[in-house]
Amino acid sequence: MIRNAALIWQKPLPDWRQKMTVCVREAAAARTTATRVFFRADDVGVPGDRFSEMIGLFIQHDTPLNLAVVPAWLTAPRWRALQHAGRAAAHLWCWHQHGWRHHNHESRGKKQEFGPARSPGALRRDLDRGRRRLETLMGPSFYPVFTPPWNRCSIQTLDYLHQAGYRAVSRSRASRPACPAGFKDAAVDVDLHTRKDPTPAAGWDAFLEALARGLRRPVCGLMLHHQRMNANALEGLACLLALLKEQRRFVWEDFRGLCPP
């Protein structure tokens, strides 16, 4: 049993599939040009059944997935196991960096691993060691995009990422501080699994509103967390992938296409 699943998946509404279908089709009808859609799965590093089930859906629907890997969690055996789980469609995966060890360093306010409480030297040290570890273990499979844990980081972090040659950062839409000029933010619009809704009904209203708003943008990002996916969440993701794929106004992307060299 997945105890930390979002309320919308603990107690899905009886007509959730119909509501999702209407939402996606209306968003597609509202577009005059294509929306580039990408999925980003966070907190990757430890292989397991939920991870395999999640990427199995992307293999089934031939859909690319950006995988945010926590460097300190990854070992050579784990990397081999993750590769093995996705071996049927290795071209679909864009492996990139998710912090260093997903540890909060802020004593007050919202959680951040690369936030303002840390010195520039400490930020650079952990960014560099995380990148080196992933490059060493993954080789050419690593793509230099940075997803900060909890979708937050300081301006010093953004400046250093830009200087160090990362292709982009990926945070929540409208995150602050803003990126330096010329540095791309591949923002996510929709949170499927770490939601904190007061009730299932309120959660579904908020989720569908975010989905409709995101799909009406030129680029829409959707965030996943496989550790929080129960059977209902897996079914919901499968439904969403199928609905998006049937609409010509939505085209799949990953960070290699959105944030090229």
pLDDT in tens, 142-160: 999 999 999 999 999 999 9
- pLDDT for position 132: 98
Query: What does pTM read for this prediction?
Result: 0.96
Structure tokens belonging to residue 229: 């996916």
Distance in angstroms (rounded) separating the CA atoms of residues 142 and 150: 21
Residue 26 has pLDDT above 80, yes or no: yes
- pLDDT for position 2: 57
Q: What is the pLDDT of residues 103-142, one digit of tens each?
A: 999 999 999 999 999 999 999 999 999 999 999 999 999 9
Instruction: Please name every residue paired with 169 in a beta bridge, in sequence order, or none if there are none.
Output: 146, 185
Structure tokens belonging to residue 124: 């650079």
- pLDDT for position 5: 93
- pLDDT for position 3: 64
- pLDDT for position 1: 46
Tell me how far apart the terminal alpha carbons of the chain are, to the nearest angstrom. Answer: 42
Q: What is the pLDDT of residues 47-100, one digit of tens each?
A: 999 999 999 999 999 999 999 999 999 999 999 999 999 999 999 999 999 999
Distance in angstroms (rounded) separating the CA atoms of residues 166 and 87: 26
Hey, what domains does the chain have and what are their CATH numbers? 9-258 (3.20.20.370)
Q: What is the pLDDT of residues 245-259, one digit of tens each?
A: 999 999 999 999 999
Average pLDDT over residues 149-173: 98
Question: 213 falls in which pLDDT band (50, 70, 90)?
Answer: very high
Amino acid at the residue 240:
L
> Which H/E stretch holds residue 173?
none
Instruction: Please name every residue paired with 168 in a beta bridge, in sequence order, or none if there are none.
Output: 145, 184
Question: 34 falls in which pLDDT band (50, 70, 90)?
Answer: very high
Helices (H), the chain: 7-10, 16-30, 49-60, 76-85, 120-138, 155-163, 200-215, 231-245, 255-258
Distance in angstroms (rounded) separating the CA atoms of residues 149 and 249: 31
Quote the radius of gyration of the chain (alpha carbons, Å).
18
